[in-house]
Amino acid sequence: MNDRPRFVEIKHDKDKDVVVLEGDWTIHNAAPIEKEIEHAIQEINGHPYEVVGDKIGKLDTSGAFLLKKLTAREKVPPHLADTQRTVLDFLPAYAEYTPPPKKTPPIAVASFSLVGEKTVRALDFGWDIFAFIGRIAVCFVSNLLHPRHFRLPSIARHIQETGISALPIVGLLSVLMAMVVTYQGANQLRRFGADIYTVDLTVISLLREMSVLVTAIMVAGRSGSAFAAEIGVMNLRDEISALKTMGMDPIEVLVLPRVIALLITLPLLTFLADIIGLFGGGLMSLSLLNLTFDQYFNRVGDVATPTMFFIGMIKAPVFALIIAIIGCYQGLNVSGSAESVGRRTTLAVVQAIFIVIMADGLFSIAFSKADI
């Protein structure tokens, strides 16, 4: 037996149906009331009907809204108390709640609209990043004029987290990357009797491109995401607002130490990746090319040039700036909930890697135009 109270009851008559309302029409009963209204509308099926509401107990705005829905084609139900009629009159007509039907634009228009929307968002993002870089630059110059404002303990901590702690994974990745390049190069060049140039391929690819690029991608995934998550959680817990209340600049306290630390650690990691990568290429050359270490490093000395080395090292500070700025920017823009932290952290990694690769392509074009 179902003891659930009824809120809508239909009494069929010859001329028109009578819809009797009863019970408490409040927000607590909104779900069952709405279901009964839907069933009643289907049962009436367009026939004339009259609504009687003198048995309604309590009525709040949620119940009045549902009552408006039921009486969309009728007048106000009779026999309502003055307070209930006041609540009903306070709300606009139900038709004003119903949004107009959406018109689906043509596919071509929708495509251009999507492209335009993405373009505007990209331009807004570029302008925000440009302004953010300006704020960091102003803060850095201000600290240069007042060196005691540099937060050395914070910088040292971030150097340890982004540099020293990252060295094992960067070193392992460099060895594996050099071994793969050497192995693939030796297999291909051996077909033409030019396997000795495998060393040249390994050295040039490591020093000019692979070491700094792979290291930057690794740091973006490791440190860039950490920057976004740490600052994002602080923002979510209103700690950044507390810093502003105490008269502290979040750029100086949170962003600048991370930027300086990464400017120091990424070139050092790149240099170590070069050294460890050449060592890994030497290990693979011993087995594939039957070279001794002396022969391998003599060949490395003949191939490697200071220009080749500094081409890779020049990229490292630029990549460090990109990773640190994107990570801190996304962290400062976290808002709302923990979902925002995850979304902004993902954006920080994806955007940092994308811009790093794009910057590497621009470097390659510039060096090519300069015949370097």
Q: Give the Cβ contact number of residue 347 at 10 Å.
A: 18
Angle between helices 338-369 and 211-219 (to 10 degrees): 170
**Residue 7: helix, strand or coil by DSSP?**
coil
Question: With pLDDT > 70 as the criterion, what percentage of the chain qualifies?
Answer: 92
| Distance (Å, whole) CA 267 – CA 313 | 6
pTM above 0.95, yes or no: no
pLDDT at 314: 93
pLDDT at 73: 58
With helix as H, strand as E and coil as C, how does 75-114 read?
CCCCCCCHHHHHHHHHCCCHHHCCCCCCCCCCHHHHHHHH
Q: To 5 degrees, how large is the angle CA 161–CA 244–CA 262?
A: 20
> In Å, what is the CA distance from 138 to each residue of 125, 144, 257, 262, 325?
20, 10, 14, 18, 14
| Distance (Å, whole) CA 209 – CA 203 | 10
pLDDT at 77: 58
pLDDT at 267: 94
- Which residues make Cβ contacts (< 8 Å) with residue 12, sequence separation at least 6? 18
Task: Give the residue extent of every domain in the chain.
Answer: 8-96, 147-369
Average per-residue pLDDT for the chain: 85
Identify the top-confidence range among 9-13, 282-286, 350-354. Answer: 350-354
pLDDT at 340: 87
Would the pLDDT of 196 be above 50? yes
| Distance (Å, whole) CA 74 – CA 67 | 11
Q: Is the CATH number of domain 8-96 3.30.750.24?
A: yes
pLDDT at 371: 84
Would the pLDDT of 269 be above 50? yes
| Distance (Å, whole) CA 205 – CA 152 | 36
For range 168-186, the mean pLDDT: 90
